[in-house]
Structure 1
Amino acid sequence: MSVVTTKSRKIPSWKLEMAREIIELTKRYGVFLVVDLTGVPAKHVQMVRKKLNDIAVMRVVKPKVALKALSELDLPVKELETYFTGQIMLVYSHKNPFELAEIIENLVTRDYYSPGEVAETDIVIPEGNTGLPAGPILSVFGRLKIPTKVQGNVVYVAKDTLVARKGDVISPDLASILQKLGLTLKEIRMKIKCAVDGKLVIPGDKLKINRAEYEESLRQAYIDAFKLAVEILVPEPVVLNYVIQRAYREAVTLVVQAGYVTSETIEHLLRKAVADAYLVAVEVSKHAPELGLGIEVKAPAQRVEEKEEEKPVEEKKEKSEEPSEEALAEGFAALFG
């Protein structure tokens, strides 16, 4: 009879320490980003770490160890598995994940292109003094079809020259020339795979928002909500203030049209009476100029222009039932303090 013995494998202490720290940081902050470090130079990571020192904690982790640790916190590990691959770093912060992602993606360093890499934008060699002595380098310029001239044994580029378009593969000759000219054209920035806020997982592409469009959408949503609130008389201070003012204006208009005299309507009635009298005088002057009322009657053509000009006023009158821009702006400001 044979006896089979099994030997339990001891977990390395560094893995246990990493898992413990991930659990502790996740409990403390609640929000973290998963950042892809593939191809990111150490100097860029150091720059980002220095910039975020006051607002975030950054930890380079092993994907499997991190997932095991996060499973202890009942997070959606299955959903996170697709993001926890390759070289990754977790960035913890109390900031909103959208704001944190924007900060990180705007931190950029520049480096030289290496042969075989893909151009991120069009590459142009600028006209002017290269600072390079004439010699074998001229043949490299020739192969890249960059027009040159030599002055005082120094190579000059004759004119701005497009040497690669966005998406082109960088050749060894082009990589060499860019380095010799000191053109660090490759932008290095961290790619965010996803964000975790509590138990919510937000894909990296959903973290990019257009602030201007977002603010305009929010403003339009408020305007639509305010108009609806005015129509159904929602008992809110901002709404009631506008509704009361509109009701007062409509009441004054109605009383003036009815000819009812009060201390508040007398001024409006007098203005209306003067306007009506003027219109009557204009009509009388048309048919009885010999009365010498002194009212200037404009030519018919001008009258037509007046009518055309009056149309927008009538349209404006019809639209005046809706909340004005001033009222909406006042309400919008009140909403956000």
Structure 2
Amino acid sequence: MVQPKPKRLTREQKEEKVEYFKEEIESNPVIGILDMHNLPAKQLQEIKKEMKEFAKVRMSRKTLMQIAIEQSDKEDIAQLEENEAIQPAFIFSEKDPFQLYSLIQANKTSAAAQGGEIAPNDIEVPDGDTGIGPGPMLGKLQQKGLNVQVDDGSIHVQQPGVIIEKGEEITADDAEILNQLGIEPLEIGLDLDVAYSEGELFTAEELDIDVEQYRTDVEAAASGAFNLAVNAGIINETTAETIVQQAVRKAKNLAISEGLPFEETIEEALAYAKSNADGLDSQLDLESVDLDEDTEEAESEETEEEDESEQDSDESEESEEDSEDEEDKEEE
């Protein structure tokens, strides 16, 4: 495992180390505390090479790291002391804490168990041919609750099963079974305990998020907020263009439907009127109407009206003649 260099440091060396840490704290926007107690030294060197493009990992004695934090003028940087790292190390980066955590996780590799470790997740044995011949391993797998049988000279797992649950200790016997099956349950890599950025401290639990789901949720929330603002008529630099476009579209549709002869709408208004006319025409069954019969009925009605009019005129003339005769008789 990684251990600080055992050599003694002079007072001057200690002061230089503290000053170096202090400068790194001041010059980097993100400072994290790693826990190195489960990381082999060989893997550490490999990981540091892979991460050098986006982060620097530096470690020393806890007291020197603590003094550097206390001497820094960065806002609320003292929060970094609130970590649970058994063997702490600094990590300095310009990536935001969430990106840094994701990159650290991506640089982890699987490793075999030796016994005595804590299972980071449920350890499951898949179904299928183990490639192991019949012997003591058959009984060990059965003791772990697995449904196994010998087929074609090797042990076959009939159904997948969890043999070690998350948080349980991996015993030496467990490690032997896992190694025989080729299962590497451990993750070798850096463990970010806490990260500081812009006065805020983030724990590993807070940084461990589903980035894609988080992005989807944020996009959905932004879209919903935008639609609400537009429908409510809230005008700002984000919604103004869409609200104006909607208003123009509604005004144009109103002008077209009412047949208002504006230059921008006259062509569409005529098309709209024609469409309505065509629709009305399609609803009328003109072919079923006998136009000749209708014409004859109309002419008959006109003739009757003329006859009635002439009769009324004759009666009026006769009445006038009778009236004149009566007046002549009275004069005589």
- TM-score scaled by length of structure 2: 0.69
- More displaced 10-residue stretch of structure 1: 63-72 or 248-257: 248-257
Partner of 1:261: 261
Structure-1 residue corresponding to 2:211: 211
In the other structure, the counterpart of 2:235 is 233
Q: Do the aligned residues in 1 keep the contact of 2:69 with 2:80 (CA within 8 Å)?
A: no
1:17 is paired with a residue whose SS is helix
Gapped runs of 5+ residues in structure 2? Answer: 1-8, 292-332
- Aligned identity (percent) is 22
User: Which residue pairs with 2:73 in the alignment?
Assistant: 74
Deviations 1:57-90 (A, max 9, x none): 1112322221211111134365333216420111
- C-alpha distance 12-148 of structure 1, shift in aligned 2 (>3 A): farther
SS in 2 for 1:209: coil
Aligned pairs for 1:150-299 within 5 A: 155-157=154-156, 159=158, 162=161, 164-167=163-166, 168-223=168-223, 224-225=225-226, 228=229, 231-234=233-236, 236=237, 239-285=239-285, 290-291=288-289
C-alpha displacement of 1:131: 5.4
- 1:232-290 deviation per Cα after TM superposition (whole angstroms, max 9, x unaligned): 433x4x644434433332222222233222443232222222232234334433xx762
Structure 2 distance, partners of 1:20, 1:273, is: 83
Q: Structure 2 vs 1, CA of residues 42 and 222 (structure 1 numbering), >3 Å: closer, same or farther?
A: same
2-side partners of 1:176 and 1:109: how far apart? 20
Could you tell me which residue of structure 2 aligns to residue 58 of structure 1? Answer: 57
Equivalent position SS for 2:268: helix
What SS does the corresponding residue of 1:117 show, helix, strand or coil?
A: coil
Query: Which blocks of at least 5 consecutive residues in structure 1 are unaligned?
Result: 1-9, 294-337
Q: Which residue of 2 aligns with 1:105?
A: 105
- Further displaced range: 84-93 or 224-233: 224-233
- State the 1:93 CA deviation: 1.3
Quick one: structure 1 residues 193 and 142, their matched pair in 2 at CA, closer, same or farther if it must change by over 3 Å? closer
Please report how far the alpha carbon of residue 34 of structure 1 lies from its aligned counterpart in structure 2 after TM superposition: 0.9
Report the alpha carbon displacement of residue 164 of structure 1 after superposing the two structures with TM.
0.4
After TM superposition, give the deviation of residue 95 of structure 1 in Å: 1.8
Q: Which moved more, 1:270-279 or 1:139-148?
A: 139-148
Change (3 A) 1:121 1:258: same
Q: Aligned residue for 1:128?
A: 129
5 Å-filtered alignment, 1:326-337, equals none
Letter paired with 1:73: S
Preserved contact between residue 126 and residue 157 of structure 2 (Cα < 8 Å): no
For residue 245 of structure 1, what is the amino acid of its counterpart?
A: Q
Distance 1:149 1:174 in 2: 21
SS, match of residue 255 in structure 2: helix
CA distance in 2, matches of 1:51, 1:244: 52
Task: Give 2:30's aligned amino acid.
Answer: V
Q: Distance in 2 between matches of 1:292 and 1:190?
A: 95
3-state SS, counterpart of residue 61 of structure 1: coil
Return the letter of the residue paired with 1:157.
H
* C-alpha contact 2:112 2:183 (8 A) present in aligned 1: yes
Return closer, same or farther for 1:77/1:251 CA change in 2, 3 Å cut-off.
Answer: closer
Q: Which has the larger radius of gyration?
A: 2
Q: CA shift at 1:55, angstroms?
A: 1.8
CA 124–35 in structure 1, closer or farther in 2 if over 3 Å, else same: same
CA distance in 1, matches of 2:84, 2:11: 21
CA RMSD of aligned residues (A): 3.3
Q: Is the 8 A contact 1:67 1:84 kept in 2?
A: no
AA aligned to 1:26 is I
CA distance in 1, matches of 2:51, 2:171: 36
Q: Deviations over 1:20-76 (max 9, x none)?
A: 221121122232111112323333322321210222111123222212111111343
TM-score of the superposed pair, with normalisation by structure 1: 0.68
CA contact (8 A) 2:229 2:239 kept: no
For the 8 Å contact 1:128–1:158, the answer to whether it is kept is: yes
1:141 and 1:216 map into 2 onto residues whose CA distance is: 43
Please tell me whether the aligned partners of residues 25 and 92 of structure 2 are also in contact (alpha carbons under 8 angstroms): yes
State the partner residue of 1:36. 35
